[in-house]
Structure 1
Amino acid sequence: MNMTIDSDTRNRTETASHYEQQYLDLMRHIWTQGAKRVDRTGVGTRAVFGASMRFSLEDNQIPLLTTKRVYWKTATREMLWFLTGDTNIRELVKQGVHIWTDWPLDSYCRETGEDVDRDVFEQRIIDEPDFAEKWGDLGPVYGKQWVDWPVYEPAGEGFYTRRDKGINQIAKLIEGIKNNPGSRRHIFEGWNVAELDQMALPPCHKTYQFFVSDGKLSGLLYQRSCDLGLGFAFNVYSAALLIRMIAQQCDLEPGELVWNGGDVHLYLNHAELVEEQLSRKPKGAPKLDILRKPPSIFDYTIEDFEVTDYAPQKHISAPVAV
């Protein structure tokens, strides 16, 4: 017996199986059933505690959201910046990356009493190295912990001194994956308790673990705090990108990304974003190609990455809660 599947049924089936649908389902659940909470920013959120999603990275798949545009080059530049260990926004803003500017700008305005806009502040960061050194540093965030975790050594009579060079967790991770792929200790961490109060923002995507099986590398990200409306789009792409880079450096194929969130929330002032995004249907299957294999994970450049088959729906803007 011949059966004909009408186009509406086919579209519903494709939507339900699309990798982004799990994200939209979580967004809808939080917006309609999440607990209303007071948060650090004072804006307020709806939130759930504990969520998980899985994304295949095989065949160059990359979990870019399709229901709104994600600026993947900006996220890639941020990841490459993390891997340098730099903590000053100057190199980012020189590349037109603004995602970290709000925190030092807010600090500058509060401490000086001046009311300057972002463009003026960023131009001074670029033009004036001394100004950038004083006002552009974020403290020991992300990349600093990843590639230069501090080590203290006894200096006599109960005193300790900080070693000039800390632990490069990323380098050790790759060495461990290459030499002992079955280990359960393929982890790097950003949550340095001793330095949290020195950071502009304690790490949200804080713990990464990796797993090798059948010649494939999979990664798990635990994110203690997730702004599902804005931050998640970058977080999930960046985690997948990092897995792809590490897999290439270790001569492995990419497996999957497992994303775990602790406090997963939507800000109350993001109603327009949430409602607009939930009205859209995911579609398409973007691919990420890495165009060369550099000598190390620290030698990639933005020109090494190419995203194809990505045709997202238009960008949805929303305010960042600082």
Structure 2
Amino acid sequence: MGRGEKAYLDLCNHILTNGTKRDDRTDTGTYSVFGHQMRFNLEDGFPLLTTKRVPFRLVASELLWFIKGDTNIRYLLENNNNIWNEWAFKNWIESDEYKGPNMDDFGNRIQVDPEFNKIYEEQMEIFKKNILEDDVFAEKYGDLGSVYGKQWRAWKTSQNEVIDQLKEVIDSIRHNPNSRRHIVSAWNPEDIPTMALPPCHTLFQFYVADGKLSCQLYQRSADVFLGVPFNIASYALLTHLIAHETGLKVGEFVHTMGDAHIYSNHIEQVKTQMERDIRQLPQLLLNENKRSIFDFELTDFELKGYDPHPTIKAPIAV
């Protein structure tokens, strides 16, 4: 029990002990190592961390957003998912149409200035309301550009054709399981300038053996405290869904990282988490009446036996 979660906690300890202190794009600062791999046996249980609560509903709704090929945060907000808000909000406050209070460097200012944090939250609520209620505003400021969903479902070629990578990889797994080309890439160099955030989880590959489906993710940039627990659960869920559709059992999720880092303002939270004991992993149940991953909705997932330690809050670096 907990071998995968122990590997995660070992990574946290490795970074705190051996990581290099580095500046970063967000001006927050990180402790970082380069090149790390963790393995999760999905037959042991669903790898949702137990040393802190990870909100499965947010993981699942974000994954469904990717699967739908959507790039606008309206769907996420409709499902009470706020994890991409800051990047879309940044587009609005940097536009000529924004007339509100100065929001420069809001990601860092909200951590040290309670009064500014109140103003920020007011502006964020205005922004979210506009996304949900104003179609024109949502189209202009809710869209994050050619991020994950676009690349997974509608990769545009130089011949102006469109490739549905996700659909093709499912067909490949079903009809040519021994192929070494079960790959989906989110890293499209031509589209990087149009993305709110270039993809951190850049490429994933599937592998079929002994009637089991395994998945390996390469993640160029890994926010170990906030992002990685989501990434583990998201790709584990994706593996379950595709195994379900193709009539396979689940095998392993292999998580390979480039720059694995802990932000300098997450250190105490990480230490708190490392002091906690690992608990029994939950079990994932899928709606057996749904076969195609493109038909699944949030109500088609059930997580049984999830009894984690409490949530540990930390600021997100934008």
Q: TM-score, normalised by structure 2?
A: 0.90
1:114 aligns with 2:91: no
* 1:313 maps onto 2:309 in alignment: yes
Of the three residues 37, 54, 63, the one matched with 2:22 is 37
CA contact (8 A) 2:100 2:123 kept: no
C-alpha separation between the residues in 2 aligned to 1:146 and 1:69? 28
> Larger Cα Rg: Structure 1 or Structure 2?
1
Look up the match of 1:150.
156
Q: Which residue of 1 aligns with 2:169?
A: 173
Q: Which string of whole-angstrom CA distances, capped at 9 and with x for unpartnered residues, describes residues 221-268 of structure 1?
A: 111100001001110000000000000111000011011010000000
Counterpart in the other structure of 2:117: none
Matched residue, 1:84: 68
Which string of whole-angstrom CA distances, capped at 9 and with x for unpartnered residues, describes residues 163-208 of structure 1? 4xx1100110011111110010010100000000100001111111
Question: Where do residues 126-275 of structure 1 align in structure 2 (5 Å cutoff)?
Answer: 126-153=132-159, 162-163=160-161, 166-275=162-271
TM normalised by structure 1 equals 0.89
For residues 54-95 of structure 1, the C-alpha deviation after alignment (integer angstroms, 9 at most, x for no partner) is 101116x11100010000011100100111111110111111
**Can you give the 5+ residue segments of structure 2 that lack an aligned partner in the other structure?**
102-121
- Shifted more, 107-116 versus 293-302: the winner is 107-116
Partner of 1:157: none
Structure 1 residue aligned with 2:33, among 29, 38, 48? 48
Cα distance in 1 between the residues matched to 2:281 and 2:221: 27
Deviation at 1:113, TM superposition (A): 4.9
Count matched residues.
296
Structure 1 counterpart SS, 2:94 = helix
Checking the alignment, whether the CA contact within 8 Å between 2:4 and 2:38 is kept in structure 1 is no
CA contact (8 A) 1:66 1:283 kept: yes
- Summarize the alignment of residues 84-103 of structure 1 with structure 2, pairs less than 5 Å apart: 84-103=68-87
Contact 1:248 1:293 in 2 (8 A): no
5+ unaligned residues in a row in structure 1: which ranges?
A: 1-13, 154-161
Q: Distance in 2 between matches of 1:281 and 1:101?
A: 32
> In structure 1, what is the Cα distance between the partners aligned to 2:150 and 2:289?
24
Among 7, 20, 29, the residue aligned to 2:5: 20
Residue 48 of structure 2, aligned match among 51, 60, 64: 64
Q: In structure 2, the residue corresponding to 1:122 is in which secondary structure?
A: helix
Q: Which amino acid aligns with 1:256?
A: E
Partner of 1:299: 295
- 2: CA distance, partners of 1:233 / 1:256: 16
State the AA in 1 paired with 2:71: T
Q: What SS does structure 2 have at the residue aligned with 1:19?
A: helix
